Amino acid sequence: MKIYILRHGETALNQKGVMQGWLDEPLNESGRFLAAVTGQKLKGIRFRRCFSSPLVRAKETAEIVLRESGNDVPVELDPRIREISFGSLEGQQLEREAAMRFFTDPFSYGRFPGGEGVRDVCERTWDFISGLMKLDDGGDYLVSTHGCALRAMLNRFYDDPLDYWHGHVPYNCVVNIIEAHGGSGKLVADDIIYYDRKYCVDRYALDGK
């Protein structure tokens, strides 16, 4: 079986570079465009089921990708794959020192005040993906999630799990593919971008680029 895991499209809060977390922000025009292009590139794949974070930006991305790829399956919401909760810091930009810690060594950062830490997100997203792999039915599945949650879900598949961000925060609408057999899986496609790379922007890059 193959599991296609993507990050949602861009939102207005993404453009501001703030910590979005559980804030329920819809896609902006650019986000819908990136989702549509990604969906068009996935035509020919017949998704057996689609799972999404319950946050609207992930659900809307899933709906657009399904429509543009010619798939007519419902979007099933699963809270285990929603974004990390930044607690009282949601809607804000991290101070420079805190950002350096979170985007270089998030495992040592701990939990956000009133929210979660990356270890919490790793635990709940692994519970989801490990259960999905156990289906082992040869089908294709679509999963729509978030930047931090995507990295958490794939953490055990990376060569260096301690490099949590795998180089950087995943770009909007990147696609990762897990091939699973016998309840275990392998990452066979890593951060695929189906749109023009000029639209790739890391709003959370420490150097501001």
- HEC readout, the chain: CEEEEEECCCEHHHHHCCCCCCCCCCECHHHHHHHHHHHHHCCCCCEEEEEECCCHHHHHHHHHHHHHHCCCCCEEECHHHCCCCCHHHCCCCCCHHHHHHHHHCHHHCCCCCCCCCHHHHHHHHHHHHHHHHCCCCCCEEEEEECHHHHHHHHHHHCCCCCCCCCCCCCCCCCEEEEEEECCEEEEEEEEECCCCHHHCCCCCCCCCC
181 in catalytic set: no
Active-site position among 8, 10, 25, 90 = 8
168 in catalytic set: no
Active-site position among 10, 25, 60, 83 = 83
Query: Would you please indicate which residues are annotated as catalytic (active-site) residues?
Result: 8, 83
